[in-house]
Amino acid sequence: MTASPSLAGHVALVTGANRDGIGRAIARRLAAHGADLVLHASGPASREGLERSRTLIRQAGARAECIEADLADGDARADLIDRAAHFFGPVDILVNNAAKNVFAPPSKIDLPARHAIFEINFQAPVDLVQQALPAMRARGWGRIINITSESVKPPNLPYLGPAKFIHALSLYGASKLALDRYTRGLAAELHGTGITVNATKPYAVAWTGGADQLARQMLATNSAMVETLELLAEAALLLVTRGTTGLVLNSREILQLHQAPLHALDGQTVIGDATTLISEQSPLRPPS
């Protein structure tokens, strides 16, 4: 089922791959090019969605297995990379997608909530990177992709949404900004080793299953404010296959940088490019 470029012989771990969202879409796209996938979720409550992700990949002809670990718990995640390696071999593609937010304004968010956000959004990715690096160094090849957020930037005025929602993204954005800075620093450290480190993010509202109603509302006013998961999956694939490092760019910027077409999650059907806008009639829809 592989298509060019081939990722046969490579093993990818994608965290937070249990929902109809970014993690699942990236996993499906990597699998479409031959990678073996280890799909992560936080625990039993996410098991049904995780198994759905595995089923979709297996139905397409690729190999996939599931793994659970609470990324908020340092001990629970301490051996996650080693556990993932038991399925297909050492992980050489790491996609840190799992994230957490607590919807409270900056003046009221308490210490436990602050700890939880930074633990999952920053500390856990750093731990997984450090666990994965020895095998990547031994192979002389590795790909690290951190999924970040446009919330690292202060919101534009006037707010495009309820102020209480914008304010609630403050600490989430701060945690993702820390991850951006770490991404660039690690990329500089590993430059020339064969291991690349990049970050990408939605440029707009990601059209996930959970955000379907919001996305349709946004389409009615400004289609440029909606992004489908194919864009993020394409950007992630480009970061794996093109060898660039130290990038912290949104999905459209990555496609534009590489002058790349936009494919469906099957990796073969061309459905657009970096300039494509989304409409209700567009083939760019939330994947099942």
What CATH number did the domain enclosing 41 receive? Answer: 3.40.50.720
Residues identified as active-site: 172
Count structural domains, the chain: 1
Task: Answer yes or no: is 155 within a domain.
Answer: yes
The pLDDT score that the predictor gives to residue 206 is 61
pLDDT of residue 223: 55
Q: Using omega within 30 degrees of 0 as the cis cutoff, is the peptide bond preceding 158 cis? A: yes
Angle at 173 between CA 242 and CA 113, to 5 degrees: 125
Q: What are 89-134's pLDDT values in tens digits?
A: 999 999 999 999 898 999 999 999 999 999 999 999 999 999 999 9
Among 71, 37, 47, 29, smallest CA distance to 231 is for: 29
Give residue 275's pLDDT. Answer: 84
Please check whether residue 153 lies inside any domain of the structure: yes
pLDDT at 284: 54
Residue 95 in any domain: the answer is: yes
- In-domain check, residue 127: yes
Q: Return the percentage of the chain with pLDDT > 90, whole number.
A: 69
- Work out the pLDDT band at 156, boundaries 50, 70, 90: confident
38 lies in some domain:
yes
Q: Which of 107, 188, 94, 176 lies closest to 134, judged by CA?
A: 94
Range of the domain at 54: 11-203+236-251
Q: Flag whether 271 is in a domain.
A: no
Q: Is residue 276 part of a domain?
A: no
Domain membership flag for residue 50: yes
Give the C-alpha separation, 143 to 104, whole Å.
34
Q: Is the pLDDT assigned to residue 2 strictly greater than 50?
A: no
pLDDT at 19 exceeding the cut of 90: no
pLDDT band of residue 266 (cuts 50, 70, 90) is very high
